[in-house]
Structure 1
Amino acid sequence: MSEPVSDLATPFDRAVALLRALCGPDGIHASLAATANYRAVFARDAVIAGIAGLLLDDATVAGGLVRTLERLRDLQGAEGQIASNFEPRDGGPPHVSFGTLAPRLDAATWYLVGVALAARAGALDPAAFADSVRATVRLLDALEYNGRDLLYVPAGGNWADEYPYEGYILYDQVLRAWALRLLGALHGQPAWTEKAARIGRAIDARFWPGAEARRGHPVAAFSPVRTCEMFDLAACGLLGASGVADDTGSAALEWAAERFVRRGVLPPAFHPVIDESHPDWPALVRYHLYEFRNRPHEYHNGGVWPVWLGWLALAFGRAGRDDDLARLRDAVDARLAALPAFDFEEYLHGLTGAPGGTPRMAYTATGLVLLRCAGTPAQRLLDA
């Protein structure tokens, strides 16, 4: 890089510079910080960052995506599993994790989305990934098990790995359907395209029960013993950006716009928060890998994550909601203007707006890039 990230003028310029700085010979690293294992290459973080690079037509970041996908393919498990993360080590094989407390199923779905979009952009040859893709699709079919079109995800099985929800999680269904729709078109696989359509219909039928439509947004998850009725911004942003289930996605966007964006409020990852009076509080307090981070309005528990604001922006852009997109950008700009020392921390406090979590994150830089790309012709890459 010709300039230090901190010397660049705007948060967007700094975000692009950070993403470029995180690109190495093994892919796109999660952070420049040495906290925990954030110097590893995480499938989810790297693919999302790489998608931002594709939308920008940035050769450095797109190249980092391709190297990420190549390494994930080469490290693929015998049954088609995709690593949650891997950490390169000098003079030896990388340390590879498929999940710690639980398998990270969204590593597989983001991998499939990444391969499809990189191929559509001409950044890679899909033939070199065809066997790997088929293995991962088969794995997800096997995990579905009961033939009812939805994946059952364990607690900790996706990005919100310290948040107490599990079962048929909306976020994971959206990613799988989007991947299958993109790959079905790419490889001429009508069975994959039809499967994606069935998942979309299942989302409409199961995540927005008619009797509960007054809620205004789809449920985050359900299982045989409970329904998780909170608002899940990641799932709803991805619904709108992908078009997997347009009716449910459109209604979710309207609710998010009315409840948050039109009031100048940045929507949190999950709403409402779990506090000490909530029945899930004891489980939340016990559930963490390194230390407890989910105090009310922090981290997953009501923290504001720029990466998911970016996907919400893309959803507004795809839907032609230009006024809501402009309001969202204005709210983000105002928040960042109040944070002169902002260092791309993972999230912002849901009430105070103070930065929290690991700094210099690809995740956060990606969110700012997606906010800029939303509503531009480049976004058409995401449409199947």
Structure 2
Amino acid sequence: MKKISILGSTGSIGTQALDIAKGNSDYKIVGLTANKNIELLEKQITEFSPKIVAVVDEDQALILKKRLHGNDVNIVSGIEGLVEVATYDSADIVLNSVVGMVGLLPTLEAIKAKKTIALANKETLVTAGEIVMNLAREKNVSILPVDSEHSAIFQCLKSGKKNEVSKLILTASGGPFRGLSKNDLEKVTLKDALNHPNWSMGKKITIDSATLMNKGLEVIEAKWLFDIDINKIDVLVHPQSIVHSMVEFIDGSVIAQLGIHDMRIPIQYALNYPDRKENILEKLDLANIGQLNFEKPDNKTFPALSLAIQAMKEKGTMAAVLNGANESAVQLFLEGKIKFIDIARMVEKVMSLHHNIKNPTLEDVLEVDKWARRMVLEQLN
């Protein structure tokens, strides 16, 4: 039995992970966390009986404590609560599926506690990849990718040796605005941006998918996860989202991982690694799909991908600035305060103002994250 703590259990990845664990004796859920959705969290506590639960919003944590008075679950709160769940003694695996920079510190503390990390929080490696991976090597901790693209690459890399890899090829759906012009993007609405053609995800990641920033963040993640030069990572737009990513080897062989677009497949793979387990999910029917298409991304219309690659090439704190500025700008768009096309413009502006710190400490990363968010808000004035 694998004992699992899930950070972000009320979000898209978290709920799907619990769907996998439901009624399955291979898993025991020992810890859960949520931001403030205590209604769903309470149902999860009733069903899975975790030993410890964290609610980031301290007011909501107090309400949940009153509701569950007499229940033996330990309810904690804030970032400190996230860390408590991430480092909980009996947990073997920590699935980090929270959204945003808030996921970084719990990941680092879980590594120090020598937990296996199933990572679905992009910001951990985007903002502090070198710090995180060095610590994981020092503590001999495995970081297993949960994102479908990185899970695909992780599986494909087993077909050869590291020195036989020519390049990694990340696939992108292209989002809801594939094929539109910059003029078209000036007019798109929040509802349009949240209408992803293939995947059902949280709002923030759905907007990132529409701008192609999500793919840029995944390029940065791939560089750190697989210890590969940024120039050996390519992106292809693949609207069907069936080929989840590929690896090209030096002999010209290209190994791809295919599957339906259902996140429960890579989640289950990470939780069961190194074994595979049977499931009752729909199987891929290529004859029914008929064809698979690929094209190069339109970096002029969707500059976010290029900005992410630029940030990674500059190294240091630039990727943390990119991430912080993007999180802040996406939130403004979700609140109706800026246009869709302003997201990448704001990120680019903040990056141009940043004096890069080449060998940052964790404190440097956290400070520039705050700075980048302030710089985005200043652009509203």
Q: Answer whether TM exceeds 0.5 for this pair.
A: no
By relative contact order (CA 8 Å, sep 6+), the higher-ranking structure is 1
**What TM-score do you get using the length of structure 1 for normalisation?**
0.32
How high is the TM-score relative to the length of structure 2? 0.32
- The structure that is strand-richer by fraction is 2
